[in-house]
Structure 1
Amino acid sequence: MVSSGLLKFVSPCWKPSLEDDDASGRAKGLLWYKNSGHHVNGEFSMAVIQANNLLEDQSQLESGPLSSIDSGPQGTFVGIYDGHGGPETSRFINDRLFNNLKTMYGADFASDSRSISADVIRKAFSATEEEFLSLVKKQWLNKPQIASVGSCCLVGIICSGVVFIANAGDSRAVLGRSEKSIGEVTAIQLSTEHNASYPSVREELRSMHPDDTQIVVRKHNVWRVKGLIQVSRSIGDAYLKKAEFNKEPLLARFRLPKPFCKPILSAEPSILEQKLYPEDQFLIFASDGLWEHLSNQEAVDIVHNYPRNGIAKRLIKIALHEAAKKREMRYSDLKKIERGVRRHFHDDITVIVLFLDHHLISRNSSRGPPLSIKGAGGV
């Protein structure tokens, strides 16, 4: 559980606005937020804080039709795209992935599919990956650095009483489930992460590349794939997927000493499909910048113990207090640090909290006004 001391420390500093009528969210310095809104399955709150020179986190919430077919399913789609090496891939995913999902559902509709499926999600990831690699090929000679840009990709979809969690990379989705017997809300992690810091990921890489003794390398106390990158799955990162992009004019620091025959990284997501129950209260989706400073249970306790309005912004603020404390500085001083330099203290952080209304979820055909909102539109 989050410490009472931390909650008391942050509480006096926090005064969320009573309402947020701005449909596209608001920006304040490096912070963008949408305090509250409604999706077809309940309420939501979103926030983004920028640390890099260019914001590398992108995100979206889509509520309403999940298909290009009029009679297709309705639901809620959440995407968290944590870029690395630049913002190009995360921006591309933000523009293309949901459209690809709707298209893939339409293509599968003829096969008698009436709801979203893991196969449709997998195809949407694959189509987005192929589109981006095609873009890299087109821009290779004029903009070779785009081959070293990639993004983690976390997707959550609520449809017909079921939640799908698809993840490639190390962003995280956590469910808050009410435990009436103990009067608390328990954190349940729903996403599988693909980061070389986990022994299971290193073993997976070694089993896939048995002849490569350098497939994972520990540098400066951090495990990295080929000594270059922490995540083992992503969209983009063409330089570690196709040997044709791992050569000049790519910068020398990204070029491997030996050519490779098969992709080192994968865009294949881990997918969980799980029924939602009345005790399931909310879902927290966030890039790894949040989880560097808060545990799953701490985040769930914060969402459970405070008003819904502005809760995503509150999670970010508490994480920044923790980041400042780790550097033995005051939060007020951290806020004065400009983007770029700020990255030495914390990462870009994106948070989307979905509250679950089971009266709406139980209506499998729940319909409401369509909503499309992109995080950090104002930053």
Structure 2
Amino acid sequence: MNSSNINFVLNTYLKLDLNCRGKLLINIYKNNVFVNQKCGFTSSCYRYFRTSHEAAQAPLKDGVTVLPTPQEVTITLRKNEFNKEFIQGSVKSYDSNQLASNDPIEDTRSEAMCKQTAGLLMGIFDGHGGPACAQVVSKRLLNYIAAALLPYEQLQTYINEGAPDSLLETFNDKTKMVEDLKYKYSKSFKQYLAELAADDKEINIKTSLEKAIMSLDSDLSKEVVDPYNSDGFINPKTLSVALSGAVACVSHIDGPHLHIANVGDCNAVLGTMTEENEWVAKKITKEHNAENFDELKRIWNEHPDSERKTVIRRDRLLGELAPLRSIGDYRYKWSAELLSKLAVPYIGNKAIPAHYYTPPYLTAMPDIYYHRLTPKDKFLIIASDGLWDMMTPLQAVKLVGEHMKGKVFFNLLKLPKKNIQLGDIDELLVHRKESLKSKPKDKNAATHLIRHAIGGTEYGVDHSRLAHLLSLAPDVSRMFRDDMTVTVAYFDAEFLRQCPS
């Protein structure tokens, strides 16, 4: 790293408060700076500083770093924001946004309404070891879930009609599937439908979510292994998807019924208002990582006692992988023999982790959580760990709650009645002028959270800190923050109030 980069990083470091400095130093110590926080790969394509001596940074003018203006910062923050409103159902609207730290970004998100059954699906997918797995999962998983939710007769009709686009109405879907993989994925999906049709059981949302996630994870492997077994062919694209990985948090909301499927370390948090008008954060999910002792016990019990010191090392699976469950990541699922045939020729001997004795070490089995929504539940936040590394669930809920209150001032003023007196209008305008002080900078709540996650201090958002962190090149940025993807869904209290108990 050259001297100008070093100075820029040090200046950014000094802008942080003591708590954030501590987090950064712990992160560098744990990851030895060069190793991806989640995947453990050490090849050049996964290093933080793969081109640090050439890394772009904030421009220099007469030797002085020129930081982006507040307007330029806002343009950057709002680049990927999206909002969708609904005219019926328990969800009034949702806001989403994401901000990259890695290049390319390894987070993805997807949202869709089920067209043949009831329910809104929203998912956050946090990739590691590259973006390939997260991108593919975000494009395919919601279809797998929608198919698993079809009653038997509807499933048979759907199979006979063969209309894959009729399952979901997707929103903000800008990514396109690679052409040469469309046929392969379509073939896998048809086989998945046949397996669903062979199992004539009553539909259960919990088992449907489990079935969809586990089936897609299995297909990621089959799409590599089957062609190899039949003719010795290995497709580098399907192999890269299988060897990279993704954690996922997916919600299914149908009226007052909220189900969350979680694999890995994304989180879903409910924002609830008490009778005393105080915000409460209800953390629905529990991370699958080394801080979850039940998860550690599960892994220890699945392997011989002789591996107790090697299966979890440095708070990671086999000393490499931070999330203890994920989709893909077949470096920790295939046998050593299969890895030698499929992965070693492409990425070398590092493809087989040290102390790899009794695979599989990893599963994609999700934990499923259920919550019945009430009028007190105002919104749901689903986000990748890039957000939760920077703020607590309660901080996030309070920020969205304050944002809800201030967001009304984005709307035009409407007089409450026709024959209002001039004095009443004057009082209303004075109150509105005073209240405008609480108007947030961003109409989108996800953007509001990201802005505060990066630039927030106990005194509000610090533009200098925000500008510094947004100016870092991807090689350096990853030292300070992860990719962030956030979705905030707002509930209709009146709709929930009328739902039968």
TM-score, normalised by the number of residues in structure 1: 0.78
The aligned counterpart of 2:323 is 231
The aligned counterpart of 1:321 is 455
Residue of 398, 407, 412 corresponding to 1:301: 398
Cα distance, 1:14–1:276 mapped onto 2, change above 3 Å: farther
Paired residue secondary structure (2:95): strand
State the alpha-carbon separation in 2 of the partners of residues 322 and 136 from structure 1: 45
Cα distance, 1:353–1:15 mapped onto 2, change above 3 Å: farther
Letter matched to residue 216 of structure 1 = I
1:162-311 matches, within 5 Å, as: 162-180=257-275, 182-211=276-305, 212-213=307-308, 214-218=310-314, 223-243=315-335, 244-247=337-340, 248-249=344-345, 250-307=347-404, 309-311=443-445
Deviation at 1:235, TM superposition (A): 0.5
Confirm or deny: 8 A CA contact 2:94 2:487 kept in the other structure: yes
Cα distance, 1:208–1:310 mapped onto 2, change above 3 Å: same
Residue of 314, 334, 338 corresponding to 2:469: 334
Paired residue secondary structure (1:232): coil
Confirm or deny: 8 A CA contact 1:154 1:166 kept in the other structure: yes
State the alpha-carbon separation in 2 of the partners of residues 60 and 142 from structure 1: 26
Residue of 99, 105, 127 corresponding to 1:49: 99
Matched, 1:62 2:156: no
State the alpha-carbon separation in 2 of the partners of residues 315 and 16 from structure 1: 14
CA deviation digits over 1:284-327, x for unaligned, max 9? 0000000001001000000001135311101011111159x9xx
State the alpha-carbon separation in 1 of the partners of residues 152 and 286 from structure 2: 26
Structure 1 unaligned blocks of 5 or more: 1-12, 18-26, 365-379
State the alpha-carbon separation in 1 of the partners of residues 317 and 130 from structure 2: 19
State the alpha-carbon separation in 2 of the partners of residues 129 and 43 from structure 1: 30
Choose 204-213 or 124-133, whichever is displaced more.
204-213
Deviation at 1:129, TM superposition (A): 0.6
Choose 202-211 or 282-291, whichever is displaced more.
202-211
State the alpha-carbon separation in 2 of the partners of residues 330 and 134 from structure 1: 47
The aligned counterpart of 2:143 is 99
RMSD: 3.0
Choose 239-248 or 171-180, whichever is displaced more.
239-248
Confirm or deny: 8 A CA contact 1:81 1:90 kept in the other structure: yes
Confirm or deny: 8 A CA contact 2:73 2:470 kept in the other structure: no
Confirm or deny: 8 A CA contact 2:380 2:488 kept in the other structure: yes
The aligned counterpart of 1:20 is none
Residue of 481, 484, 487 corresponding to 1:346: 481
Letter matched to residue 48 of structure 1 = Q
TM-score, normalised by the number of residues in structure 2: 0.60
Cα distance, 1:53–1:30 mapped onto 2, change above 3 Å: farther
Deviation at 1:29, TM superposition (A): 7.4
Deviation at 1:142, TM superposition (A): 5.0
Confirm or deny: 8 A CA contact 1:293 1:322 kept in the other structure: no
Cα distance, 1:112–1:225 mapped onto 2, change above 3 Å: closer
Confirm or deny: 8 A CA contact 2:132 2:240 kept in the other structure: no
Choose 288-297 or 36-45, whichever is displaced more.
36-45
Q: Which has the larger radius of gyration?
A: 2
CA deviation digits over 1:213-265, x for unaligned, max 9? 211001xxxx1000010111110001101114433224333413455444101
Paired residue secondary structure (2:81): strand
Which of the two has greater helix per residue?
Answer: 2
CA deviation digits over 1:182-207, x for unaligned, max 9? 32010011112101233332222112
State the alpha-carbon separation in 1 of the partners of residues 72 and 101 from structure 2: 23
Which of the two has greater strand per residue?
Answer: 1
* Structure ranking higher on relative contact order (CA contacts 8 Å, 6+ apart): 1
Letter matched to residue 468 of structure 2 = D
Deviation at 1:343, TM superposition (A): 1.7
Residue of 32, 36, 48 corresponding to 2:80: 32
Confirm or deny: 8 A CA contact 1:77 1:156 kept in the other structure: yes
Paired residue secondary structure (2:219): helix
Cα distance, 1:230–1:335 mapped onto 2, change above 3 Å: same
Letter matched to residue 454 of structure 2 = L
Deviation at 1:103, TM superposition (A): 1.3
Matched, 1:121 2:209: yes
Letter matched to residue 321 of structure 2 = I
The aligned counterpart of 2:221 is 133
Deviation at 1:348, TM superposition (A): 0.6
How many aligned positions are there? 329
Letter matched to residue 360 of structure 2 = P
Letter matched to residue 275 of structure 1 = R
State the alpha-carbon separation in 1 of the partners of residues 331 and 212 from structure 2: 22
The aligned counterpart of 1:148 is 243
Cα distance, 1:295–1:259 mapped onto 2, change above 3 Å: closer
Confirm or deny: 8 A CA contact 1:145 1:251 kept in the other structure: no
Cα distance, 1:356–1:87 mapped onto 2, change above 3 Å: same
